[in-house]
Amino acid sequence: MSATSAVPAQSGVLGFVHRRRRGAELFLLVLALAVGIGAYVAVGIGVEGEVPTDVLGYGGALTALLVGAHVLVRFTAPYADPVLLPVVGALNGLGLAVIHRLDLATDSSDAAKQLVWMTLGVLLFAGTLLLLRDHRVLQRFTYTSGLAAIVLLLLPLLPVIGNEVRGARIWINVAGFSFQPGEVAKVLLVVTFAGYLVLHRDALALAGRRVLFVDLPRGRDLGPILAMWLVSLGVLVFQRDLGSSLLFFGLFLVMLYVATERAGWLVVGGGLFAVGAFFGYQAFGHVRRRFDVWLNPFDHYGPGTDDTAFQPVEAMFGMAWGGLLGRGFGEGSPERVPFAESDFVLAALGEELGLTGVMAVILCYGLIVERGLRAALVCRDAFGKLVATGLALVFAVQVFVVIGGVTRLIPLTGLTTPFLSYGGSSLVANWVIVALLLRISDQARRPVPDLSDPVGSGDDEATQVVKAVRA
C-alpha cells in the first residue's frame, strides 16, 4: 500500500497529501554522485592525464556518506523534502573536486581534510535528525540560544584563544584545532529571532504610525532592531568581518519583515544600515580601503601600487578567461588567485567551467532556498515557518554576499561559499542547517491525523496536534 493511500482522504490541506518521494530522492542522489565523482575524475584527467588512482576510495567514501544520509532520512524523516539532500550532495561533491584541482596545482592536501570535515558534518546531520524529532522543541531555548550566540561571537575577541586570520578576528584555537564560532552562531540566531518574533509579532506588526505611505514602528518597539544593529556594528568594528556583519543584520531585518509584513521595518533597517556603513567608512581605515579596492581595483593592482587588489583582479581575469563554457579542468590557472580554495572558489570554478558552470551552481543554491521557503509555506506552526524562512535566508544572503563580492557587485567580504569552499566550520554548520530544514519539511508534509477516529491507529499523531493547538 502506498503512503498516499495509507492516510485518510481528509487529512491533507484542501484534500492534498504529500507523498514521501524517497525513491525520487535516491534517483537524484545517483545524479549528484555522478556530478561529484565525475568532476573528480575530470580533474585527474585534465591535470595529470589519467584517472586518479584513488577514485574508488574517494567515490566509495562519498557514496557511503550520501547514501547513509539518505537511509537515515528514509527512516527518521520519511516525508522530508526529496530535493534538498541531492542538491547539497552535488554541491559538496563538486566543491571537493575543485579543491582537489587546486591541491594538484599547489601541492597541498585540502581536499582530504575537506572530506574529513564532510564526514563530521554528515555525522552531525544524522545526530540532529535522530535527536530532534520535533522542531518546536527549539522554541523553548529562544533566549538561551541568543545568549549562546553572543558568547560564541565574543570568543574570538578573547586574548588566549582568539586568532586573527587575514585581518579578520573570527577564529578561535582550542587544542590545536581552529574553529569559526560565527558559523554556529548564525544557526542559534535564527532560532532566537524566530522565537522572539513569534511572541512579539502582533505588537511589532500592528502598532505604529503612517508617514508618507509607509507604516513606521513605534519608538518603543525599536529596541530589538537597535540591539541587532549594534551587534552587527560590533562584528564589523572589533572582528573586522564585513561579511558576517551583513549576514547577521540582513537576516534579522528580513525575518522581521516576513513576520510582520511591514515595509516600515525595511525602511528603518535600511536607514540604520546606511548610517552604520557611513560611520564605519569614516572611522575605520580597513573599511575605507575595502571600499576603495572595490571601486578602483586597478589603482591597487600591479607594480608601483600596494597590490591589495591582486586577489579580486586576478579572479576577474580568470573568470574572463573562462568565458561561457570554461577552459576545462586542468586547463586554467586558478591557483594564481590567493586563497582560491576558500574565499574565491567560485572564481576558480568560473575559470575552468565558465559562466555555464557558475550559473548551474547558482541554480542549485536557488533550489535550496526555494525548497526551504516551500517548507516554510506548508509548515503548520508559526515558529517552524520563521525558522525555515531564516535558514533559507542564511543561504540566500550568504551566497549573494559571496558571489556579489567575487563579481564586484558589492565590496569583498570574507564569507565562504556554502558546501563549495574549503572550511570545516562552515561545512559542518551548513549540514546541520540542512538537517533542520529536512526536519521542518518532514513535519510540514506529514498528513494531518484523522481526529474523527476516537480509537484509530493514529493516537500518537492526534495527541501531537492537540498539544500544538493548546500551545
Domains in the chain: how many in total? 1
Determine, yes or no, domain membership for 114: yes
What is the predicted pLDDT for the residue at 41?
A: 94
What is the predicted pLDDT for the residue at 208?
A: 65
> Residue 320: which of 338, 306, 333 has the closest Cα?
333
What is the predicted pLDDT for the residue at 450?
A: 67
What is the predicted pLDDT for the residue at 452?
A: 66
Determine, yes or no, domain membership for 3: no
What is the predicted pLDDT for the residue at 56?
A: 93
* 8 Å CB contact between 167 and 286: yes
Q: pLDDT for 304-322, tens place per residue?
A: 888 888 988 999 999 999 9
Determine, yes or no, domain membership for 454: no
Q: pLDDT for 3-46, tens place per residue?
A: 444 444 444 455 677 788 888 999 999 999 999 999 999 999 99
Determine, yes or no, domain membership for 462: no
Residues in the chain where the model's pLDDT stays below 70? 1-15, 166-167, 207-221, 450-471
Determine, yes or no, domain membership for 469: no
Determine, yes or no, domain membership for 451: no
First-last CA distance in the chain: 34
Determine, yes or no, domain membership for 285: yes
- C-alpha cell of residue 412: 569583498
What is the predicted pLDDT for the residue at 458?
A: 47
Measure the CA–CA gap between 430 and 114, rounded to whole angstroms.
Answer: 14
Q: Which domain holds residue 421?
A: 21-445
Determine, yes or no, domain membership for 468: no
> Residue 25: which of 65, 63, 80 has the closest Cα?
80
pTM, entire model: 0.88
What is the predicted pLDDT for the residue at 318?
A: 92
What is the predicted pLDDT for the residue at 388?
A: 95
> Residue 66: which of 96, 30, 97 has the closest Cα?
30
